[in-house]
Amino acid sequence: MTDYAFVLGKNWLLSLAELVVCLQDRGIAEGVKDYSRTAVIVESDQKLSDEQLVDIQSALGGCFKVGRVVSVYDRTLIEEAFPAKGKVQKPARKMMQEVPWVKRVWPRPRGARIKFGVSTYPLLNRQTSVDLRKFTLAIDEWVKKRLVELGAKKAAYFAYDGPDRRDAKRVNVALWPQTIARRGLLSPPNAEILALLTEGALYFSKTVGVYDSQLQQFRDEARPYISAEISTSPKMCRTLLNLAGARPGDTVLDPFCGSGTLLMEAAMLGMKCRGIDINGEAAEGARANMKWLGSEMGEWIDFKIIKGDARKASALVGQQVDAVAFEPDLGPVYRETPSIEDARRSIEGLTVLYRDVLQDLESCLRPGGRVGMTVPVVNTINGQVSVDIDTMIQGTGFDIHKLLDGDAFEDYVPKNQRLKVKTDRTTLPERKRGQIVQRAVLMLGRV
Ligand SMILES: C[S@@+](CC[C@H](N)C(=O)[O-])C[C@H]1O[C@@H](n2cnc3c(N)ncnc32)[C@H](O)[C@@H]1O
């Protein structure tokens, strides 16, 4: 058995759900062995190559980093060695100081000039019983010392980055993916070490791949057609593609394609793309974006964008597709919080639209194929209004799938309430602070 570590995106539950689906689709995971709100440890009897791990990480919308576990300690040891309050236990600190796992990260350090960094990910984001800053800096120092003892010509580390500017209370003792790329920390003999804290353990892992934020920013900003109002984030697009079970070589349909963000992500992952949008300008823009992406990638992309109504998708596309992923029309862009009656009226209309589209999709999605989609959740002055999923799928030939499959979580049941995962959930929220229209994410399958 080998353990692999995945650092989760900001929406940890959605990231966890996406990861489990993605690994199950690839027949990889034996199960989730352990997790925190920032990282997951997956156990597998398959030996995955670096290339396979990087492929998985880059296909995921909610995974910042992937690594191989090189060592596991009991959590009490780190609590004794680096308590947030109270006395340091010397024997515990001495044990940690030995860093025997360094040899597993660097089997032959002799004569090498090594740059590295340690990124620590806590159990929860805000509170911890461990002094994470002291811990991270101590590991940095001890690894450096050990590397020199093992014959490295030079060893230098990059201490953790500053706090998250958008959320100052969030503990950050990790390196951002940009820093890792800029400093070349993934090119041997350089390395990044992940220190992942869970309820019961501390895992050290060697990073194999990180999220390429620069590439995504470039795609987002340099594409010829940008429509901020209707764009879905590229990360959300990848999550929807995974929930839909889309794989390289598959034909993916986005029946509400807008400017084509989701299809661009699909093309980057080697999928064939079919898109529909009722708005001629959006369809034209999506076409321009796909052509541009093809020339940037230096590859021919198999795509077709059609101006038309999603309710007639099968006739418009005229072929069977392997997966359907989309963020549909989410209703009006409210300038101020609406009344519950207004929101209900809009949601009822949208529910009929989504049901009509799903009814039509049944005839073009391959048997066993899945749909990954979002639906709006509107915050009104008197509470939230959302789509009734049972009404939406009634008579469509689609079933709702559970998002956090219980089988995947049999191995570990947390004690901490804030880590509990309800395995019967069929939707997961995706919200940004202050948003009037938020979203729920779901996965459907052909009956
Ligand atoms: C939320 S946007 C999709 C955004 C897209 N994922 C992107 O990133 O650009 C919804 C899109 O659905 C389109 N739309 C609305 N009703 C439609 C319908 N009945 N058929 C097809 N497209 C529709 C709108 O023109 C809009 O571009």
Residues 307 and 268 in one domain: yes
* Average pLDDT over every residue of 116-145: 91
Q: Within a 10 A sphere around the Cβ of 221, how many other Cβ atoms? A: 8
Q: CA 91 to CA 79: how far, in whole Å?
A: 12
Residues 182 and 219 in one domain: no
**CA 23 to ligand 1 centroid distance, Å:** 30
Q: Which atom of ligand 1 is nearest to the CA of 328?
A: 10
pLDDT in tens, 40-91: 999 998 899 999 999 999 999 999 999 999 999 999 999 999 999 999 999 9
Is 45 in contact with 245 (CB distance < 8 Å)? Answer: no
Residues 230 and 183 in one domain: no
**86 secondary structure, DSSP code:** S
**229 secondary structure, DSSP code:** G
**CA 277 to ligand 1 centroid distance, Å:** 6
The owner of tokens 């101020």 is 336
Q: CA 232 to CA 229: how far, in whole Å?
A: 9
Alpha helix positions (H), 269-408? 280-297, 313-317, 340-361, 389-393
**CA 256 to ligand 1 centroid distance, Å:** 4
What is the structure's pLDDT at 262? 97
Q: Which atom of ligand 1 is nearest to the CA of 309?
A: 20
**CA 59 to ligand 1 centroid distance, Å:** 23
Residues 118 and 66 in one domain: yes
**CA 302 to ligand 1 centroid distance, Å:** 21
Q: CA 144 to CA 169: how far, in whole Å?
A: 30
- CATH label of the domain that carries residue 346: 3.40.50.150
What is the structure's pLDDT at 169? 65
Q: Which atom of ligand 1 is nearest to the CA of 286?
A: 9
Q: Which atom of ligand 1 is nearest to the CA of 232?
A: 8
**69 secondary structure, DSSP code:** E
Amino acid at residue number 345: R
| Helices and strands per DSSP (H, E), number in the chain | 14, 17
For residue 31, give every residue at least 6 positions away whose Cβ sits within 8 Å of its Cβ, in sequence order, or none.
42, 43, 407, 408, 409, 410, 411
**CA 404 to ligand 1 centroid distance, Å:** 28
Closest CA to 172 of 38, 325, 289: 38
pLDDT in tens, 264-315: 999 999 999 999 999 999 999 999 999 999 999 999 999 999 999 999 999 9
**CA 257 to ligand 1 centroid distance, Å:** 5
Q: Which atom of ligand 1 is nearest to the CA of 254?
A: 6
Is 96 in contact with 134 (CB distance < 8 Å)? Answer: no
For residue 271, how many C-alpha atoms fall within 13 Å in the half-sphere facing its CB? 28
Q: CA 339 to CA 106: how far, in whole Å?
A: 61
Residues 144 and 220 in one domain: no
Q: What are phi and psi of 416, to 5 degrees?
A: -70, 125
**Domain-terminating residue out of 158, 186, 211:** 211
Is 65 in contact with 117 (CB distance < 8 Å)? Answer: no
Residues 97 and 12 in one domain: yes
Best residue among 219, 225, 241, 256 to mutate for probing ligand 1, ranked by most atoms within 8 Å of CB: 256
Q: CA 422 to CA 440: how far, in whole Å?
A: 16
Report residues whose beta carbon is within 6 angstroms of any ligand 1 atom: 230-232, 255-259, 261-262, 276-279, 282, 309-311, 327-330
Closest CA to 296 of 258, 266, 267: 267
What is the structure's pLDDT at 166? 62
Residues 311 and 329 in one domain: yes
User: Of all protein residues, whose CA lies closest to atom 27 belonging to ligand 1?
Assistant: 258
Average pLDDT over the chain, rounded to an integer: 93
**Domain-terminating residue out of 158, 176, 211:** 211
Q: CA 13 to CA 36: how far, in whole Å?
A: 10
**CA 13 to ligand 1 centroid distance, Å:** 26
Q: CA 280 to CA 125: how far, in whole Å?
A: 44
Give the lowest-confidence range in 2-6, 11-15, 175-179.
Answer: 175-179
**CA 255 to ligand 1 centroid distance, Å:** 8
Strands 251-254 and 272-277 come out as parallel
**CA 424 to ligand 1 centroid distance, Å:** 30
**Domain-terminating residue out of 161, 190, 211:** 211
Q: Which atom of ligand 1 is nearest to the CA of 310?
A: 20
The owner of tokens 């639906």 is 375
Q: CA 446 to CA 112: how far, in whole Å?
A: 55
Best residue among 257, 264, 314, 359 to mutate for probing ligand 1, ranked by most atoms within 8 Å of CB: 257
Q: CA 82 to CA 70: how far, in whole Å?
A: 21
**CA 118 to ligand 1 centroid distance, Å:** 43
pLDDT in tens, 350-363: 999 999 999 999 99
Report the run of H or E that residue 199 belongs to, with start and end. Answer: none
Considering only residues 447 and 194, tell me which one the structure prediction assigns the higher pLDDT: 194
Report residue 107's pLDDT band, with 50, 70 and 90 as the boundaries.
Answer: very high
Q: Within a 10 A sphere around the Cβ of 78, how many other Cβ atoms? A: 24
CA-based radius of gyration for the chain: 23
* Average pLDDT over every residue of 329-340: 94
E-assigned strand segments in 150-200: 154-157, 191-197
- CA angle 41–44–45, rounded 5-degree value: 155
Is 347 in contact with 333 (CB distance < 8 Å)? Answer: no
Residues 317 and 433 in one domain: yes
For residue 12, how many C-alpha atoms fall within 13 Å in the half-sphere facing its CB? 17
- CATH label of the domain that carries residue 174: 3.30.2130.30
Residues 282 and 355 in one domain: yes
Best residue among 220, 277, 330 to mutate for probing ligand 1, ranked by most atoms within 8 Å of CB: 277
3-state secondary structure of 79: helix
Judge whether residue 163 has pLDDT over 80: no
Residues 160 and 274 in one domain: no
Q: CA 149 to CA 251: how far, in whole Å?
A: 54
Q: Which residues pair with 1 in a beta bridge?
A: none
**CA 395 to ligand 1 centroid distance, Å:** 23
Q: CA 228 to CA 230: how far, in whole Å?
A: 6
Q: Which atom of ligand 1 is nearest to the CA of 231?
A: 8
* Average pLDDT over every residue of 438-442: 97
Instruction: Print the domain residue range for 175.
Output: 2-211
pLDDT in tens, 361-400: 999 999 999 999 999 999 999 999 999 999 999 999 999 9
**CA 231 to ligand 1 centroid distance, Å:** 9
Measured over the CA atoms of residue 402, residue 404, residue 405 and residue 406, the dihedral's sign is negative
What is the structure's pLDDT at 216? 78
Best residue among 227, 278, 290, 355 to mutate for probing ligand 1, ranked by most atoms within 8 Å of CB: 278
What is the structure's pLDDT at 227? 80
What is the structure's pLDDT at 222? 87
User: Of all protein residues, whose CA lies closest to atom 3 belonging to ligand 1?
Assistant: 258
Domain count, the chain: 2
User: Of all protein residues, whose CA lies closest to atom 16 belonging to ligand 1?
Assistant: 329
pLDDT in tens, 219-268: 888 899 988 666 799 999 999 999 999 999 999 999 999 999 999 999 99
Q: CA 429 to CA 285: how far, in whole Å?
A: 29
Residues 243 and 355 in one domain: yes
Strands 201-210 and 63-74 come out as antiparallel
Best residue among 259, 279, 329 to mutate for probing ligand 1, ranked by most atoms within 8 Å of CB: 329
Task: Classify each residue of 373-393 as buried b or exposed e, where b means 16 or more C-beta atoms within 10 Å of its C-beta.
Answer: bbbbbbbbeeeebbbebeebb
Residues 285 and 388 in one domain: yes
